[in-house]
Amino acid sequence: MTASDLSLGDHGDVVAQITNTLTRIGFLSSASHSFDAIVESAVKAFQQERGLTVTGVVSGSTLRALEDARWKLGDRVLSLQPQSPMRGDDVTALQNRLSQMGFDCGKIDGYYGVRTESALKEFQQSVGTKVDGTCGPATVMSLMRLIKTVSGGAPTGLREDAMRASRGPALANKVIVLDPSGGDSDAAICYDIAQRLEGRLIALGVAVFLTRSAAKNPTVAESVALANSTNTDLVISIHTDNYINERAHGFSTYYYGSEHHGIHSVVGERFAALVQREVTARTDLLNCRTHAKSWDLLRLTKAPAVIVNLGYLTNPGDAKKLSDPVFRETIVESMMIAIQRLYLSAENDAKTGTLKISDLRRAGLRGN
């Protein structure tokens, strides 16, 4: 048994550490060495709050989130450590406070990186404290005194939206990363849709990067690294779902967001909603809506990222639809329209489910 795979019935010191953290952050009344039903319920509540998949099992992602949750701003001194970046809720809180005051630390991801250090130095200079990029007690006190609400929306979201707008409405010269699933059951379906989408995008002048090939099946970390190295405008991760009950079915999309921290990707949320609406308007897939999640692919990718779940392969109806090349082409057409709507000016927009690629070319989105 490893620390990244703990569930109901397990015992030991690692369980005690997990329950101690859950107790400290208010999900349990006391720590325990036993992973019982009460602990399982607390884990599920924690996963729900943090935008993780609710399983009651402490997998690697849940364990990392618990480690992050241990830290509150002021618990420790924060500084840039390039070889092993500091991460945690205290870093997220620092990034939030800096962003709310107009200091650009980039995406609020809970990692203390170069942009966070630069933003902190700007803040320190503005308040006349020692400019060292280290967040110690004096800097925390200054942050507490000077934090204020910025009118007009969160600066991080405004910057993200402005960056999208600054690249212009034409798709030519934009960069999109497609990340098809490499799972045993859905690799062929997701890769086929990614390749179809790639061909459509290239025809419109987009630079496209596929994270997976016949010889390469990357980890999430490798997909994130590729996306962050390409100065991409958008990341689309394509998957299917499954469930123990074959009655579960439908189409869903996910974007980066955390209700607990009060943060979300403005462009990611917008694109997820566009894909959701276009696909469900053009197919008979059940609308399972868009959801904010803090999964690593969404959180650690610098550009707006969206995960698309095409349907449930454990559902006979969804599986039959996704096996049909004509149906897949309809999904690709829907996703293409959603991508172009993301960059379409309001005056050229039209009712969901009615636009065609030819309409968008006439609107000038083809580029030169």
Could you give the CA distance from residue 113 to residue 119 in angstroms, rounded to a whole number?
10
Residues 196 and 299 in one domain: yes
Residues 142 and 176 in one domain: no
- Two tokens at 179? 């990340």
Cβ-contact 180, 210 below 8 angstroms = yes
Number of domains in the chain: 3
For residues 319-340, give the mean pLDDT. 95
CATH number at residue 318: 3.40.630.40
Query: Considering the domain boundaries, does residue 63 fall inside one?
Result: yes
Picking from 142, 144, 145, 122, the residue whose alpha carbon sits closest to that of residue 132 is 122
CATH number at residue 108: 1.10.101.10
pLDDT at site 348: 46
Query: Considering the domain boundaries, does residue 367 fall inside one?
Result: no
Q: Which residue has the tokens 């870093």?
A: 91
Q: Which regions of the chain does DSSP assign to beta strands (E)? A: 175-180, 207-210, 234-241, 251-258, 263-264, 287-293, 305-312
Cβ neighbours for 257, distance < 8 A, ≥ 6 positions apart = 51, 263, 264, 265, 268, 269, 292, 293, 294
Picking from 35, 32, 37, 58, the residue whose alpha carbon sits closest to that of residue 46 is 58
User: What are the pLDDT digits (tens) for 252-281?
Assistant: 999 998 888 888 888 999 999 999 999 999
Backbone angles phi and psi of 82, in degrees to 5: -55, -35
Query: Considering the domain boundaries, does residue 83 fall inside one?
Result: no
DSSP label at 67?
H
Give residue 108's identity as a one-letter amino acid code: I
Q: What is the β-pairing status of strands 251-258 and 287-293?
A: parallel
pLDDT at site 116: 95
**Neighbouring-strand partners of residue 175:** 207
Residues 143 and 257 in one domain: no
pLDDT at site 141: 87
**Neighbouring-strand partners of residue 11:** 34
Residues 208 and 266 in one domain: yes
User: Is the pLDDT score of 214 beyond 70?
Assistant: yes
Does residue 72 sit in helix, strand or coil?
coil
Query: Considering the domain boundaries, does residue 103 fall inside one?
Result: yes
Does residue 307 sit in helix, strand or coil?
strand
Number of neighbouring beta carbons within 10 Å of residue 168: 13
- Among 151, 171, 191, where does a domain finish? 151
Cβ-contact 215, 254 below 8 angstroms = no
What is the full DSSP assignment across 209-243? EES-BTTB---HHHHHHHHHHTT-SEEEEEEEE--
Residues 47 and 109 in one domain: no
Query: Considering the domain boundaries, does residue 74 fall inside one?
Result: no
Backbone angles phi and psi of 277, in degrees to 5: -70, -45
Query: Considering the domain boundaries, does residue 349 fall inside one?
Result: yes
Residues 194 and 286 in one domain: yes
Residue 270 belongs to what domain range? 163-362
User: What are the pLDDT digits (tens) for 82-118?
Assistant: 889 999 999 999 998 898 888 888 889 999 999 999 9
Residues 235 and 320 in one domain: yes
User: What are the pLDDT digits (tens) for 9-63?
Assistant: 999 999 999 999 999 999 999 999 999 999 999 999 999 988 888 999 999 889 9
Residues 123 and 20 in one domain: no
Q: How many CA atoms lie within 13 A of 298 on its CB side?
A: 27
Residues 194 and 245 in one domain: yes
Query: Considering the domain boundaries, does residue 273 fall inside one?
Result: yes
CA 174, distance to chain mean position in Å, is 20
Could you give the CA distance from residue 102 to residue 100 in angstroms, rounded to a whole number?
5
Query: Considering the domain boundaries, does residue 45 fall inside one?
Result: yes
Residues 143 and 173 in one domain: no
Residues 203 and 278 in one domain: yes
Residues 351 and 210 in one domain: yes
